[in-house]
Structure 1
Amino acid sequence: MLEVARVPARQGQARRRGRDRPDGDRRLRGLSAPRGFRLRDGRDDDPAPLCALEARADHLFRTVGIPLPPDGALPPEEPLRRALADGLLLVAEVEDGRTAGFVAAAPLDAALHVFTIAVDPAHMRRGLGRALMTAALEHAAWAFWPAVTLTTFRDVPWNAPFYRSLGFLAADDALLAPGLAGVRARERAIGLDALGPRLAMARLL
């Protein structure tokens, strides 16, 4: 297992954000999407509709016996607003402008932490989830992050097995850095681990 607590920060390299740099547009143009889709940076009016999209995507977990979202509640907007302000919010659109999926990440410990990726059920099985995660990894490398982390269900096919196919490794809970350990503690506290085994994963860049 990967020891996430030992992922080093890269000294002497400032983080850079796409919206704040003249080469940000070039970064975005270099990210690929499946035919019929395009990727763009998030906007201030995105969080509310993206939360509704995430709730629709979460219904797929019910097909493997995991009752998400609980009680039909929408996911909170705050994490998406944090990603918009301080990390990465990348949105996939159909060519006519309809939102099809997104990935959201923000700094955590010495890494960029992906805390949400969702694809609208109407656009699943088109390679969009892989394109969004690949774009997040490319952004993290472009922005000098030494690693990307996430937490996920261990046995759900489109969770941990999918991330392994992208080069992520399981991380030992006993060796997590403080921020990621806190994420896992909150997941246990709200009962996510009771729904199915969960783990932290990381990919070094």
Structure 2
Amino acid sequence: MAFSIRFAHAPDLSEIEKVENAADQLLIDLLRPERWEPAPTGESRIREPGYMLVAETGHAAVAGFVHVLETEDGCHLEQLSVAPAHTRQGIGRALVTAAMREAAERGYPTMSLRTYADVPWNAPFYQTMGFAERDPATPFQRALVAVEESLDLDRYGRRVLMIAVPSEDSEGTAHRT
């Protein structure tokens, strides 16, 4: 399937929320939580400091997105979601690659993320993208851990912080449209 990656626009925002809720269902089915919060709205995501990239299919449908926060401590991959109908087609990998390239172009020396260590499409996937486990070192990273602890997310499995070095040489550039 052909797809392109570009920066998110206002018409994408409702689709972004739908994609995340659909993708979350895979995690819900695996972890079996008693309750799972619905995805934040695309509108709330786009208002946060940072950027969002979408993978768009030939039919102009949003097949996936990546949301990157820019904080006083650096660059953080907040969310990667691919619609279940579009998984295992390289979309997630292309989105992360494009997000890392954009981070490098913006001058960030590293990109962080928090994820489940043992969910196959979480930490093992990110390891193939150059991310490695690290201890939280910045105030932002420690705050993420505190929020996760308050939500008791580790009851579903070990949570880890991962860091990668973004590269401007990465393939998967986002198109500014």
TM-score, normalised on structure 1? 0.74
- Alpha-carbon deviation of 1:42? 0.9
- Which is worse superposed, 192-201 or 106-115? 106-115
Equivalent residue letter for 1:149: S
What residue in structure 1 maps to residue 157 of structure 2?
196
Give me the whole-angstrom Cα distance separating, in 1, the residues matched to 2:39 and 2:14: 9
- Tell me, in whole angstroms, the C-alpha distance in 2 between the residues paired with 1:48 and 1:55: 11
- Identity percentage of aligned residues: 36
Residues 38 and 69 of structure 1, relative CA distance in 2, 3 Å threshold: farther
In the TM superposition, residue 196 of structure 1 has moved relative to its aligned partner by 1.3
Cα deviation 1:119-153 (Å, max 9, x = unaligned): 00010110111000011111111111111000000
Work out whether 1:172 is the aligned partner of 2:135. Answer: yes
Q: Given the superposition, is the C-alpha separation of residues 146 and 69 from structure 1 closer, same or farther in structure 2, using an over 3 Å criterion?
A: farther
RMSD value, Cα: 1.8
Q: Counterparts of 2:12 and 2:143 in 1: how far apart (Å)?
A: 27
Match of 1:64 among 20, 25, 30: 30
Question: Which ranges of structure 2 fall in alignment gaps of 5 or more residues?
Answer: 167-177
For the pair shown, the structure with the greater C-alpha radius of gyration is 1
Q: Specify the code of the residue in structure 2 equivalent to 1:49.
A: E
- Paired positions, count: 165
Q: Partners in 1 of 2:47 and 2:96 — Cα distance?
A: 18
> Which whole-Å CA distance do the structure 2 matches of 1:41 and 1:166 have between them?
21
Looking at structure 1, the residues matched to 100 and 33 of structure 2 have their Cα atoms a distance apart, in angstroms, of 29
Indicate whether 1:53 and 2:9 are aligned: no
Question: 1:97, CA displacement in angstroms?
Answer: 0.6
Deviation at 1:167, TM superposition (A): 0.8
CA spacing shift, 1:199–1:51, aligned 2, 3 Å: same
Identify the match of residue 182 of structure 1 among 143, 150, 161.
Answer: 143
Unpaired segments ≥5 residues, structure 1: 1-34
Q: What is the alpha-carbon distance in structure 1 between the residues aligned to residue 35 and residue 86 of structure 2?
A: 19
Could you state the TM-score of these two structures normalised by the residue count of structure 2?
0.85
CA distance in 2, matches of 1:163, 1:47: 25
| CA drift at 1:88 | 1.4
